[in-house]
Amino acid sequence: MRRRETIAYSASPLLASRTPVWRSRFILAALALAFLTLAGRAVYVQVLDNDFFQRQGEARFARTIKLPPSRGRVLDRNGLILASSVPAYGIWADGANPKDPNLGTLAKLLDMPRSAVLERVSRSAEGFVYLKRQVSESTREQIRALKITGISDTKEYKREYPEGEAAAHVVGFTNIESQGIEGVELAFNEQLTGYAGSRRVLKDRMGSIIEDLRDVVPPVNGKDVQLSIDSKVQFFAFDQLRQAVQTHDAVGGSVVVLDIHSGEILALANYPSYDPSDRRRLTGAMLRNQAITDTFEPGSTIKPFTVSLALERRNVRPTTVFDTAPGYIMVGRHKISDSSKHGTLSVSEIIQKSSNVGTVKIADGLTAKAMWQNLIDVGFGQKPDIIFPGAATGRLRGYDTWRASEKATLSYGYGLSTSLFQLARAYSVFARDGDMIPTTILKRSEVTSGTQVFSAQTASQMRAMLMLATGDEGTAPRAQTLGYSVAGKTGTARKIEGKGYSNKKYRGFFVGFAPVEEPRIVVAVMIDEPRKGGFYGGTVAAPVFSRTVQNTLRVLGVTPDQSVKPNITAAGVEESL
């Protein structure tokens, strides 16, 4: 066996040499300095500049989650829901991987093109990016089940509108951020919105919440708004309007229903309309609540105000007679005509037959200033007393600029403009005892006092005349209603086209009230540009008035004041334009 050799390491010259003392001290000092540097850095990070590093850490893993408030409900006068918020979720990405194999499934769940999802996910490398808003809870659960890194969700709310088209122009709608854009949603946005809460949390790289960094600030939900609108009356008025517009192939139309006891608006219907929950095919014209925002020349519906002023000033009595032959009158170089020759007419018959000539002769005994003040007193040319976006003022020029021909045409409704809502409110002066009360779109519990415009006697005399206008010999027998007495006035106005008036385009109106002896409601109807089946107000608008009155009074529980009469077949007398 070979003997193992033994090596004596201690005899190595290298180990036998003496190490300089300075080197050991240098190494020791370097180590001490390194430890002191680390300790100083730790003090700096943990104590002296802790806020900066805390912010940097939070910027990468901390998030402030907005806790949205639930928007208040919009209710009708009976507590039925017109608009409410339901839970929904916003799906978002933050640092997600664009190569994740589940992104295709995610795109299908979101009903989005895969390319759009990939594009947004790619952008999420730079920060927070929404993929889709207001998805359902079931979709959100399916997305969570995919467990895609960097994809998360936030609770929010989606607005729903149970009455759809019927109440769209009243309620309006919100944007995706739950801010009111149209209608009541806009007018009462502050009250409905509430205040958002917040939650500061720490998330891991998977996007899961692992810790709350501070106390949660809870959201303050919005308050409910209860309207004066009756959803039953609103739907029926809308349905009748829709049928009339379609039957007469009209451009559109509007209906206003007022409770004259309280000044509450029971219905504001327009057609065409839209679904507030689905606005993909929405146009600007469809958005307008035309009953409030659009103005027009009211035509013969103004005649009762001219006649009432003459009655109030005792210039005439209901039995005062005027000769309207030969069916026209010259005012300067302007010829004003009736649609039919009537000969001698009493004041009552001038309203019943809607005579332009008779109205102009009555107005001849009135001053321009008195006529102007009379129209101002009933609300024409004034800002409507209603909280609603876009409510139109209309136009009524100062009396000092009126020429003789303009004074004449103003007496029967040309030369001024008004909205259908203003017209309906003005007629409440006849339905009441000559006074007018403020109107409201909110439910009103207290009794409101009115402003006297005409005497009770004048209002009573005009009610009798307007009842004649809806009789078999008047211009609107089709306004008669089974079980209830009605009174009102037709109007037919040529539409302005270019620099003059069209001979083919008209608006037909009817505005009135019921029951006559103890009126409860005013209903105003406008049919815009009917192109089939006639265009006079008594033909196109009066039937809508009739059916709306009948339904509304039954909903309100008003007892019929007349026995049921046979169906009316008379076409009525065509009113003068």
Answer whether 494's CB lies under 8 Å from 528's CB. no
Residue 477: Cβ within 10 Å count: 20
Residues 6+ apart with CB under 8 A from 497: 505
| DSSP annotation of 184 | H
CA distance 306 to 404: 15
Which residues lie below 8 Å from residue 328, measured CB to CB, with a gap of 6+? 335, 336, 337, 338, 357
Catalytic residue among 84, 124, 231, 300: 300
Residue 401, classed as helix, strand or coil, is: helix
Task: Yes or no: say if 85 and 71 are a contact pair by the CB < 8 Å rule.
Answer: yes
What is the phi-psi region of residue 314: left when phi exceeds 0, alpha when psi lies from -120 to 50, beta otherwise?
A: left
Angle at 254 between CA 253 and CA 258, to 5 degrees: 160
DSSP state of 275: B
Q: Is 377 helix (H, G, I), strand (E, B) or coil?
A: helix
* Torsion, CA 394, CA 395, CA 396, CA 400, rounded to 10: 150
Phi and psi at residue 245, to the nearest 5°: -60, -40
Report residue 530: phi and psi, to 5°.
-65, 135
The two beta strands, 264-271 and 334-337, are: unpaired
Looking at the DSSP bridge assignments, the partners of residue 182 are 173
Question: Pairing mode, if any, of strands 74-75 and 225-226?
Answer: parallel
Tell me the backbone φ, ψ of residue 140, rounded to 5 degrees. -60, -40
Tokens (6 digits) for 498? 């270019």
Q: Which residues of 368-390 are buried (b: 16+ CB within 10 A; e: fewer)?
A: bebbbebbebbbbbeebebebbe
Three-state secondary structure call for residue 125: helix
Helix (H, G, I), strand (E, B) or coil at 29: helix
CB 477 within 8 A of CB 576: no
Q: How far is CA 114 from the centre of its chain?
A: 36
Helices 231-247 and 542-555 pack at an angle, to 10 degrees, of 160
Count Cα neighbours of 83 within 13 Å in the Cβ-side half-sphere: 39
Q: At what angle do helices 456-469 and 303-312 cross, to 10 degrees?
A: 140
- The reply to whether 231 belongs to the active site is no
* CA-to-CA dists, residue 135 to 105, 117, 129, 152, angstroms: 15, 15, 15, 12
Catalytic residue numbers, as ranges = 300
